Structure 1
Amino acid sequence: MDNEEDCIQLTKDLIGLCPDGGFRLNQWTSSNKCILAAVPAGERDKSVATLDLSNDKLPMERALGIHWDMSSDELPIKINLKEKPRMRRGVFFVVASLYDPLGFVAPFTLKGKMLLQDLCRRNLPWDEEMNNDEANC
C-alpha cells in the first residue's frame, strides 16, 4: 500500500468481509507496528500476538523458507560455507547447498554455476582436482 492509513483500512475491510464468505483471516503480521496494532491481538500471528508494540522489538520470522527481520523489513541471508575440495564435486556441493527459493542470491551463485557448467561440458571427473585458473574463478 502507499501509506499506513490505506493499509490499515484494507486490513479492517478484509477482516470484516471474510466472515461473510465463511472465511477467517488470521495469523496477521507486519513489519509496521501501527498496522499490526490495528489487527486484533487474537488475529495476529503467535510470534507477535503478545508483544507490547510500543516497547518490544519485532521478532525474526520465517517467510517462504527464508528469514525475515521484521524490525528492519529485510531478508538477511546467512551463508556458512565449509572449505570443500577443489573438484567438480566440491563446486556442486557449494552451489547446491544454498537454499534460495526466491532467487535473491542468484547473482552471487551465478559464477559458481557457470564454473560447474563449464566443468560438466569438459567432462571433468567428479573427483579430479581443478587447475588454479578454474579454482580461482
Structure 2
Amino acid sequence: MACSPHNAVRAMHQCAYDNFDKIHDRNMGIMARDTILSSFYVDDFLGSCSTVEGAITLASNIDNILTAGCFKLRKWNSNSATVLTQMGRDSSPTEYSIDAALTSVLGLLWSPVDDNLLFNVELKQPDGICTKRSVLSEVAKLFDPTGFLSPVAVVGSNSLVRRY
C-alpha cells in the first residue's frame, strides 16, 4: 500500500513517545527519543556522537526503546570498532560491519574507515551541443538527500549553462 512507509514511521515515532521512559536516566531517555524522531529516514538511522562513550550509550538507549515496542534493530555500522564491539555485547542487532571498505547510507556511499561520504557521479558526454536541457538533466540525476552537493550542482549548472 502507498501509505505503508508512513504507517511504519508513525508506529516507530509512537514507540519512541511510549517507551522513552524505560531509560532510567530521564534526560538520556528524552535524548534517545528525540534522536529517534529526527534521525531515522524510513528504516535507516544515521546519527553522530562526539565521543565513543556517548555513541555507545545513545545506541543502547535507542535499541532499548525500540525493542520495548518490538522493533528489532538488525544492522549497525560505525567508524569505531569499540562502539560495534560494545553493541554486540549489550543489544539485539544481528549484523555488524567493522571496518567495511564502503557501505550504503541513505543511498550514498560511506567509508567508515575514513568517515567520508562519497558520491558516485557518472556524467555522459553530450551528443553534440551542450544545452541547458542536457546540463539540467545530468544535474537532476544526482541523488543528494543531505544537500551536500546542492551548492556545487547549482553553481556548476549555472556556469555550464552560461557558457554555451
Number of residue-to-residue matches in the alignment: 112
Q: How does 1:35-46 map to 2 (within 5 A)?
A: 35-40=83-88, 43-45=93-95
Deviation at 1:112, TM superposition (A): 4.1
* 1:29 aligned counterpart, secondary structure: strand
Deviation at 1:16, TM superposition (A): 4.0
Structure with bigger helix share is 2
Question: Rg: which structure is higher?
Answer: 1
* Structure 1 length-normalised TM: 0.64
Following TM superposition, the consecutive aligned residue runs of length 4 or more in structure 1 with deviations greater than 2 angstroms are: 9-26, 111-116
RMSD: 2.7
Which runs of no fewer than 5 residues in structure 1 stay unpaired? 120-132
Pick aligned residue for 1:7 from 55, 64, 72:
55
Kindly provide the CA deviation profile for residues 47-98 of structure 1, in whole angstroms up to 9, marking residues without a partner as x. x2xxxx5xxx323111111111111111012322122132233222222222
**Matches of 2:159 and 2:54 in 1, distance apart?**
48
Q: How does 1:17-36 map to 2 (within 5 A)?
A: 17-36=65-84
Quick one: which amino acid aligns to residue 110 of structure 1?
A: V
Pick aligned residue for 1:76 from 118, 123, 128:
118
Identity of aligned residues (%): 25
> Kindly tell me: are residues 45 and 87 of structure 1, through their superposed partners in 2, closer, same or farther at Cα, counting changes over 3 Å?
same
